[in-house]
Structure 1
Amino acid sequence: MTRKAVLLSLLTGLLLAAVSPAHAAGYRYWSFWDRTGTTWTYATQGPSTAVPSDGDVQGFRFAVSEDSADADKPRGTASFTAICGDTAARDGRKRVALVIDFGTASDAPSGAKPPASRTACPVVPRDATTAEALATAAKPLRYNANALLCAIAGYPETGCGEQVAGKKTGSEESGSDGSDSEPSVGLFAGLGAIAVLGAAAWRARARRRGNAA
Structure 2
Amino acid sequence: MRVRVPVPLPVRISVALPVLRRALTGLALALALTLGAGAVAAPAQASGYRYWSFWDRQGTTWTYATQGPATAHPSDGDVQGFRFAVSADSKDAATPRTAPTFDEVCASTPAKPGRKRVALALDFGTPQDAPGGETPPAARTACAQVPEDATTADALAAVAKPLRYNSAALLCAIAGYPHTGCGEQVSGKTRTKAPNQSAEPQDSAERSSDSGPSLGLLAGIAAILAVAAAAIWQSRRRPRD
Q: TM-score, normalised by structure 1?
A: 0.75
The verdict on how the C-alpha distance between 1:155 and 1:189 changes in structure 2, with shifts beyond 3 A counting, is same
Residue 199 (structure 2) aligned to one of 177, 180, 183: 180
Residue 138 (structure 2) aligned to one of 101, 113, 116: 116
The verdict on how the C-alpha distance between 1:86 and 1:193 changes in structure 2, with shifts beyond 3 A counting, is same
> Does the CA contact (< 8 Å) of 1:32 and 1:59 recur in 2?
yes
Corresponding residue number in structure 1 for 2:129: 107
* Unaligned ranges ≥5, structure 2: 1-30, 220-241
The verdict on how the C-alpha distance between 1:153 and 1:73 changes in structure 2, with shifts beyond 3 A counting, is same
Corresponding residue number in structure 1 for 2:228: none
Which amino acid is 1:181 matched to? E
Which amino acid is 1:127 matched to? D
Residue 47 (structure 1) aligned to one of 58, 69, 73: 69
Corresponding residue number in structure 2 for 1:96: 118
Q: 1:57 deviation in Å?
A: 0.5
> Please, which moves more after superposition, 82-91 or 66-75?
82-91
> Please, which moves more after superposition, 183-192 or 25-34?
183-192
Q: 1:187 deviation in Å?
A: 1.4
> Does the CA contact (< 8 Å) of 2:60 and 2:99 recur in 1?
no
> Does the CA contact (< 8 Å) of 1:29 and 1:63 recur in 2?
yes
Counterparts of 1:35-184 in structure 2, within 5 Å, are 35-169=57-191, 172-175=192-195, 180-181=199-200, 183=202
Q: 1:103 deviation in Å?
A: 0.5
Q: 1:85 deviation in Å?
A: 1.9
Q: Deviations over 1:22-54 (max 9, x none)?
A: 641011100111110011111111101100000
> Please, which moves more after superposition, 80-89 or 38-47?
80-89
Which amino acid is 2:206 matched to? G
- Identity across the alignment (%): 64
Root-mean-square deviation over aligned CA pairs: 2.7
* Unaligned ranges ≥5, structure 1: 1-6, 201-213
